[in-house]
Amino acid sequence: MKSKSTYVSIGLVFLVLLIDQSLKIWIKTTMTYNQEHLVLGLDWFRLHFTENPGMAFGMELGGDYGKLALSLFRIVAVGFMVYYIRLLIKQGAHVGLVASISLILAGAVGNILDSAIYGLIFSESHYHEIATIFPEGGGYAKFLHGKVVDMLYFPMYEGNLFGLLGERNFQFFRPVFNIADASITLGVIIILAFQKRFFANMDKKDDANVVDDSNNTETVMTETSNVAIAESEITETTTPEEFDGSDSDDD
């Protein structure tokens, strides 16, 4: 029977991927490049369509080889996280720790899907032309060379910080990101915020295992001692009888 942590992990990964990919596909097929909409009429919360060939929050790792290296690194990282989550569940780790790493896993998979298949199934997005899905001439890039779709934009403040920066303007929060990026960030923040609780639980289990191993060792040693004592008693009881028997034969 699967544990609670298993269902939490699978559910979180599925939910994040569903929301992430649904929003990305909708943005890609309904908005032109660099187009934006206010969310609920809020000036500080916008959907701003952009793409990047590299890392999270619009950062880039240049060139085709850089893009390929990043995609391969993500795949290896995903494989490691799947293994680590299974190990944590097997060890009975705190469900919060399993959930946090599952959020990071879901985010990594979400961006891998963009890199892996978006270049194959979408046409190029332009400033005055919306991309199409499954174009007749094929996609805009080869496998693992697709662009990551970003859209979440929160320009909460823009100004020169009371003149501290001179004539330059400061904007918070400038990066445009996606649900997958947010999932990774949230997972990391939760681990940092609750690491004592998460890993204290694992330390207690390790201590319990050490005690169990110690008890098992003591039990084995006790049983071995008892066997040795019993053999010694048998030897001491048998030896005189043997000598007595041999003496009677001689007589």
Enter the tokens of residue 32. 């032109």
Q: Which among 30, 110, 123, 43 has a CA at the least distance from the CA of 78?
A: 110
- State how far the Cα of 136 lies from the Cα of 122, in Å rounded to an integer: 10
Residue 181 is among the residues annotated as catalytic for this protein: yes
Is-catalytic flag, 150?
A: yes
User: Which of 150, 203, 206, 207 is an active site residue?
Assistant: 150
CB 227 within 8 A of CB 234: no
Question: Using CA atoms, how far apart are residues 155 and 3, in angstroms rounded to an integer?
Answer: 42
The pair of structure tokens assigned to 56 is: 């999270």
Which residue out of 20, 43, 114, 181 is catalytically annotated? 181
Beta bridge partners, 133, equal: 122
Cα→Cα distances 152→34, 36, 65, 175, 229, Å = 12, 10, 27, 9, 76
Closest listed residue to residue 154, CA positions, set 51, 42, 58, 52: 42
CA–CA dist 183, 161 (Å, integer): 30
Structure-token match 């992430």, residue found? 20
| DSSP result, 2-61 | --HHHHHHHHHHHHHHHHHHHHHHHHHHH--TT-EEEETTEEEEEEEEEEESSSGGG---
The residues carrying an active-site annotation are 150, 181
